C-alpha cells in the first residue's frame, strides 16, 4: 500500500463504498479507513454496527446521518472536520451518494476547503450493468423515481429520448406500476431486473417492456432496473407514426392519451415526441382538430 493510502488523514471526509451483500467485496483500503476513522456517518447505525461485526472491524463511534437529518447534521460534521477529526461516510450498502444522502455534505466540504476522499468499491447500478447483457454505455442513472405516475412518465420521456440505457432503483410493491408507466412512455424495450446482487440468491430477470405479463417477479426485494436503449433496427418511421396516430385518433381519447397509445406501438418514439407530431399534424390540417376540452 502506498504512503498516500496508508493512513487516515485528520480533518478529511472519506466517502466509503461498502459491500452490497458479499463481505468479500470490501477493499483493503476501505477496511483501513473504516478502522481508523474517528467517526462513521451511517444511514442506520444499528445496521452499520452489524456490518462492522461481520467485517471484524471495531468502530470508534457511529453518528446517524440520513435523508431526514442531513441538513441538521451538516454543521456538526463540518465542525468535527474543522477540529481535525477524520470522518467516514457509508450508506446501508454500496456507494454513498448514489440515491443516498451525502451530496450536500460533500458540496459543503468542498466550499469550505475541507478534504474529501473517495474510497470506491461496490455499486449496484454498475454491478447490474456488468452482468445484465444490455448496452452499458451510454447510461443514465435515475436513482429512486418519483412516486407519482405523472412525474415518473415525464422523467422517462425526458431521459428516454437521449437514447441511453436507463438504470434506477425500485421496490417490489411499486415495480409493476412503474414498469407499466415506463412502457407507456418508452414503448417496447429490453429490460433487466436485478436483485440480491452479489448475494447467494443473486438473480437477473430478463424481459421486455412490451411483454410485462410474461415476467415472473419475486414477491420480495428491492430491484435495480435496467431498461435498454431504443432498438435502432426497429425504429418506426415518421410516416408509420402518422398512420398510427390517425388510427388511434379514430379510437378516441385526449391527444396525450392518443400519443401514449401510439408511442407504445412504435420503437424509438416516446409519448412526448408522438404528441409533438400530433400537434404538428393538427397545424398541417392532416387530421380533424380537437376541441379545447379534448386538448387539455
Q: Which residues of the chain have pLDDT under 70?
A: 1-6, 232-235, 286-296
| Grid cell for residue 270 | 416516446
Mean pLDDT of the chain: 89
Sheet holding 115-119, edge to edge: 62-64, 39-42, 87-90, 12-16, 115-119
Q: Check: CB of residue 166 under 8 Å from CB of residue 139.
A: yes
Query: For residue 130, what pLDDT is reported?
Result: 97
Q: Check: CB of residue 124 under 8 Å from CB of residue 224.
A: yes
217: phi then psi, degrees, rounded to nearest 5: -95, 125
Query: For residue 287, what pLDDT is reported?
Result: 56
Query: For residue 232, what pLDDT is reported?
Result: 62
Rounded Cα distance between 117 and 105, Å, is 13
Query: For residue 294, what pLDDT is reported?
Result: 43
Query: For residue 162, what pLDDT is reported?
Result: 84
Rounded Cα distance between 172 and 223, Å, is 7
Query: For residue 165, what pLDDT is reported?
Result: 97
Rounded Cα distance between 130 and 203, Å, is 13
Rounded Cα distance between 296 and 286, Å, is 20
Place of cell 426485494: 221
Ranges assigned E (strand) in 134-202 = 139-144, 165-171, 190-195
Q: Taking the model in full, what pTM does it have?
A: 0.77
Question: Which residues neighbour 124 within 8 Å (Cβ) at sequence distance 6 or greater?
Answer: 20, 93, 94, 98, 169, 194, 197, 224
Query: For residue 234, what pLDDT is reported?
Result: 55
Query: For residue 1, what pLDDT is reported?
Result: 40
Query: For residue 292, what pLDDT is reported?
Result: 38
Amino acid at each position: 500500500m502506498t504512503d498516500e493510502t496508508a493512513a487516515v488523514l485528520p480533518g478529511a471526509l472519506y466517502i466509503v463504498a461498502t459491500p452490497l451483500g458479499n463481505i468479500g467485496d470490501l477493499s483493503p483500503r476501505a477496511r483501513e479507513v473504516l478502522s481508523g476513522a474517528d467517526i462513521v456517518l451511517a444511514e442506520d447505525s444499528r445496521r452499520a454496527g452489524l456490518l462492522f461485526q461481520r467485517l471484524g472491524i471495531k468502530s470508534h463511534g457511529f453518528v446517524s446521518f440520513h435523508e431526514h437529518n442531513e441538513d441538521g447534521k451538516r454543521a456538526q460534521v463540518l465542525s468535527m472536520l474543522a477540529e481535525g477529526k477524520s470522518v467516514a461516510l457509508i450508506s446501508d450498502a454500496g456507494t454513498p451518494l448514489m440515491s443516498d444522502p451525502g451530496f450536500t455534505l460533500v458540496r459543503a466540504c468542498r466550499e469550505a476547503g475541507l478534504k474529501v476522499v473517495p474510497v470506491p468499491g461496490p455499486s449496484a447500478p454498475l454491478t447490474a450493468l456488468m452482468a445484465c447483457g444490455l448496452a452499458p454505455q451510454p447510461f443514465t442513472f435515475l436513482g429512486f423515481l418519483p412516486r407519482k405516475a405523472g412525474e415518473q412518465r415525464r422523467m422517462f420521456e425526458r431521459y428516454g429520448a437521449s437514447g441511453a440505457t436507463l438504470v434506477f432503483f425500485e421496490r417490489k410493491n411499486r415495480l409493476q406500476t412503474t414498469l407499466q408507466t415506463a412502457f407507456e412512455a418508452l414503448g417496447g424495450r429490453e429490460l433487466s431486473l436485478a436483485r440480491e446482487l452479489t448475494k447467494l440468491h443473486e438473480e437477473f430477470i430478463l424481459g421486455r417492456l412490451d411483454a410485462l405479463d410474461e415476467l415472473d417477479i419475486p414477491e420480495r426485494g428491492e430491484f435495480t432496473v435496467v431498461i435498454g436503449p431504443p432498438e435502432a433496427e426497429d425504429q418506426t418511421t415518421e410516416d408509420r407514426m402518422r398512420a398510427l396516430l390517425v388510427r388511434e385518433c379514430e379510437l378516441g381519447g385526449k391527444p396525450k392519451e392518443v400519443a401514449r397509445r401510439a408511442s407504445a406501438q412504435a420503437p424509438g418514439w416516446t409519448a412526448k415526441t408522438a404528441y409533438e407530431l400530433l400537434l404538428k399534424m393538427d397545424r398541417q390540417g392532416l387530421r380533424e382538430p380537437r376541441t379545447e376540452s379534448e386538448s387539455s
